[in-house]
Chain A
Amino acid sequence: MLVSVLAIGGLGVMAVMGVVAAFIITGWIGQPVPVLGFEQTFDQPIDFPHTVHASLLPLDRVAADGEKMDGLGLDCTFCHRTVTTQANAGIPPVGFCATCHQVIGAADNVQINLLRDAADIIGDDGTEPVNWKRVHRLPDHVRFVHEPHIRYLTQNPSEVTGTTDGVTQGAAGVCSTCHGNVAAMQQVEQVESLKMGQCVDCHRDNGAPTDCVACHH
């Protein structure tokens, strides 16, 4: 009797340890779920929908006039303008958003009005930048530059693995290779782990330098 209880207990301990180990391993390697407070998405100061701006498909959204909305299908580089030339993809200034949004969007749309307030279209507190929260944050000590990565994938479309709503040409495929189908995200989240292993795998497969100092300096 006692022996069998101990045996079952031992199996139970093994099972618990196995579950814990599997949890840690999947969390570390894949990050498929937010592990222990590791957030992959943030509530932004303005609830900006990438779906409306970048999606190529009809949306589950109804405009102020009651019509069903289609995604605008803007190219990623329409707003993230420095991505092909510089290290950072760049967030457009509020004035850039206001180019469209001083007329486009319902006058009582709370979220767009936050932007209009920041761009000084409504209110009288002057222009102030929106404090967007960074979603894709690389580990410390890494110098990541978008420009060569965008250039390589643009020149080698066979290496593009991502799609934006099924489209792989141009920025729709290039950007989504690392960032996932952002056009389908109501709130942007990080889909790839963006850890060093992933960087090195891709660098090795594509003949890019794997020297430490290529990124760490």
Chain B
Amino acid sequence: MTIASFGSHNWGMVVDVDKCIGCNACVIACQAENNIPINTQDRVERARSISWIRVERYWEGDFPDAKARFIPIMCQHCENAPCEPVCPVYATYHNSEGNNVQVYNRCVGTRYCANACPYIVRFFNFWEPVWPESLRNHLNPDVTIRSRGIMEKCSFCVHRIRRESRKARSEGHEIVDGAIQTACSSACPTTALNFGNFNDPNSKVSKMRDDQRHYTLLDQFATDPNVIYLAQIDADKKVGVGEAATHG
């Protein structure tokens, strides 16, 4: 029995915006999982806060009929990523599993990638990361702590992917669909975030992607993201699917 080798998967995410309630659980889960420094007021005021995933909120309509719109945005792991060709040291590249990878020990901190990224999901470490003494033991040992002067971004929880691949290989079977969950998707209470393998036509994400509500963010840039969004539908407004797809 041969087990699928490295490179035979295409990891991706399907975000059902219709299910997102804007609770920010994914943001907190990501911060805790990936050793992201705490965004103090000072850092937020300087627009230097780091959050690999964020929930953008839009208001639609005026007061009595106002509606809140939420859309979680993380690194889109673009197939044609604008961040990759601008890096002078190949610190960011596309690997054979569909991930846009940030190699911390190669990064020299030019920040070209952050300027190139249209989704604003790349973050620069302006300071050495510090945590309060009480949080010293909460750090995830599987994730590198990024020091001052390098870029970071959503990794699709690559340490979880590696862990589950290793586990599947040692048990002698393929990676089961749904076995790998990113921190955000496992924290999502409404399963708006779904992670899986697009190369497997029977996986949950592959089936969700075929939904006619699907769209990608900023598709005018032709970045071909591995994060697919499913548009929100208002039952009372009778918004057509085509119309909904232009939202966001």
Interface residues of A (CB under 8 A from B): 140-141, 143, 145, 147-148, 151, 207-209, 211-214, 216-217
Say yes or no: B169 contacts A216, CB within 8 Å.
no
25 contacts between A and B (CB under 8 A): A140-B105, A141-B104, A143-B162, A147-B166, A147-B170, A207-B5, A209-B5, A209-B7, A211-B7, A211-B95, A212-B95, A212-B103, A212-B106, A213-B95, A213-B99, A213-B103, A213-B158, A213-B162, A216-B103, A216-B104, A216-B144, A217-B101, A217-B143, A217-B159, A217-B162
**Could you say which residues of chain B place their CB within 8 Å of the CB of A145?**
166
Residue with the highest number of chain A CB atoms closer than 10 Å, among B6, B106, B142, B159:
B6
- Number of contacts between A and B (CB, 8 Å)? 52
Say yes or no: A214 contacts B6, CB within 8 Å.
yes
* Chain B nearest CB, measured from A137 CB (Å): 15
Say yes or no: A141 contacts B105, CB within 8 Å.
yes
**Could you say which residues of chain B place their CB within 8 Å of the CB of A207?**
5
Say yes or no: A209 contacts B6, CB within 8 Å.
yes
Beyond A143-B159, A143-B162, whether A213 also contacts B101 by CB under 8 A is yes
**B104 to A, closest residue via Cβ:** A141
Contact of B155 with A by CB under 8 A: yes
Q: How many residues of B contact A (CB 8 A)?
A: 23
* A-B interface, 10 closest residue pairs, ranked by CB to CB distance from nearest: A209-B6, A141-B105, A217-B158, A213-B101, A212-B103, A211-B95, A217-B159, A213-B158, A216-B103, A148-B166
**Could you say which residues of chain B place their CB within 8 Å of the CB of A214?**
6, 162
The CA-CA distance from A10 to B6 in the complex, in Å, is 55
Say yes or no: A217 contacts B95, CB within 8 Å.
no
Contact of B96 with A by CB under 8 A: yes
* Chain B nearest CB, measured from A87 CB (Å): 9
Residue with the highest number of chain B CB atoms closer than 10 Å, among A141, A143, A213:
A213
**Could you say which residues of chain B place their CB within 8 Å of the CB of A141?**
104-105, 144
Residue with the highest number of chain B CB atoms closer than 10 Å, among A143, A207, A214, A217:
A217
**A209 to B, closest residue via Cβ:** B6
**B143 to A, closest residue via Cβ:** A217
* Chain B nearest CB, measured from A82 CB (Å): 13
**Could you say which residues of chain B place their CB within 8 Å of the CB of A143?**
142, 159, 162
* Chain B nearest CB, measured from A194 CB (Å): 16
